[in-house]
Amino acid sequence: MVSGSKNQTNSPAMALKTLIPWIPTLVLLHLPVISPSSFTYPAVFNFGDSNSDTGGLAAGVAFPVGAPNGETYFNKPSGRFCDGRLIIDFLMDSMDLPYLNAYLDSIGAPSFRTGCNFATGGATILPANAASLSPFSFGVQVAQFIRFKARVLELLGKDKKLQKILPSEDYFRDGLYSFDVGQNDLDGAFYSKSEDQVAAFIPTILSEFEAGVERLYNEGARSLWIHGMGPLGCLPRIIATFGRDASKLDQFGCVSSHNRAAKLFNSQLHALCAKLGSQFPQVCVTYVDIFAIKLNLIANFSQLGFKESIAACCGYGGPPLNFDNRIACGQTKSLNGSLVTAKPCDNTTEYVNWDGNHYTEAANSYVSSQILTGKFSDPPLTEFTISPSAFRTDFRKHFRFF
């Protein structure tokens, strides 16, 4: 969710580069999951940015993703830009599959038996440049997958015992290929382009995405799960940077220009999904309207049990945003002659936003529960079953705290 296309203080790259430790007192112990019968795959191969990065950037460039990240669920930093779990983690839970290990993380002999995560924080669809936070753009991630698959099949051909930690050949055919990428392209573009110029830039971005998906198709990908972009203009960092003039904000306090661009991107991405489905009839392409789910959460946060829709849980400055571009979540530094710390809130489940750039585990839990209803996907997920430990109507009842 962090752009690397601009090297300046208010950029998303700078926002990530200053994350530092602090340990919260809140520990979330358990969240149940839904298991739709139409959402079951033997393996998942994921591509994206920090919305679904489970350790790629931390491993790939030794990026410091320290505490308080991870403290809510993992009780320690886990390479995720979140207090706990991401949407991809909840989707893996719904299929009774272990969480995805990052392709770039080789420490601890990670298992890739049921998939692999190529997503890295700061990744863009378009090729990275010298100012990019992450060199692992979408095209590079696709190339990594191609090498991964070739190497896996080579190793399995020599030693079948490796199937304990590597996906079998049929998993590449029958697995789910998931995508959540593109936000950093638009995010970064707004630092140097007008809204009209950003809008005109979208086809170029999606052309690169289409080329990458076609390469994956040629490698055997047949089930594509594609997330649209969330409401970019509702991130505290974006509001702090582009929303100082109240006339630029909508009724929810979000930056209108960024949300319009996100909706335009989604419209064209949705059309591309239809095109891919028509071009490759043997491929199942599912588009998921993440924008609608997240905007509904922000618009109706109080009814859903949250207390803050826009303010960052972990930040500095207090209401309305609790975000200061000069100091990131967990960081301690001198501001205006005083030593200050950007601390996490006492109860992360009351907040939609985690650190000004990313969502809390509680918000990710809600978004995932809505994805799994099937109502926000095209084509929709229809028949599904709910396990005894599934989300209840009030998903927040499953939170238990010390």
Q: How far apart are CA 235 and CA 255, in angstroms?
A: 9
Of the residues 187, 355, 368, 369, only one is catalytic, namely 355
- The string of DSSP letters for 242-290 reads H-SSGGGB-TTS-BHHHHHHHHHHHHHHHHHHHHHHHH-TT-EEEEE-H
The yes-or-no answer on residue 355 being catalytic is yes
Per-residue b or e along 350-361, where b marks 16 or more CB atoms closer than 10 Å to that residue's CB: bbbbbbbbbbbb
Ramachandran angles phi, psi of 368, nearest 5°:
-65, -40
Encode burial over 14-41: b for 16+ CB neighbours within 10 A, e otherwise: bbbbbbbebebebebeebbbbbbeebeb
Catalytic residue among 11, 50, 178, 377: 50
What residues pair up with 287 in beta bridges, in sequence order?
A: 226, 378
185 flagged as catalytic: no
Does residue 148 contact residue 171 with C-beta atoms inside 8 Å?
no
Alpha helices in 286-360 (DSSP H): 290-299
> Are the C-beta atoms of residues 32 and 344 closer than 8 Å to each other?
no
Secondary structure letter of residue 118 according to DSSP = -
Number of helices and strands (H, E) in the chain? 11, 10
Residue from 257, 358, 365, 377 carrying the catalytic annotation: 358
**Which amino acid does the sequence have at 200?**
A
387 is catalytic: no
Mind telling me the catalytic residues? 50, 355, 358
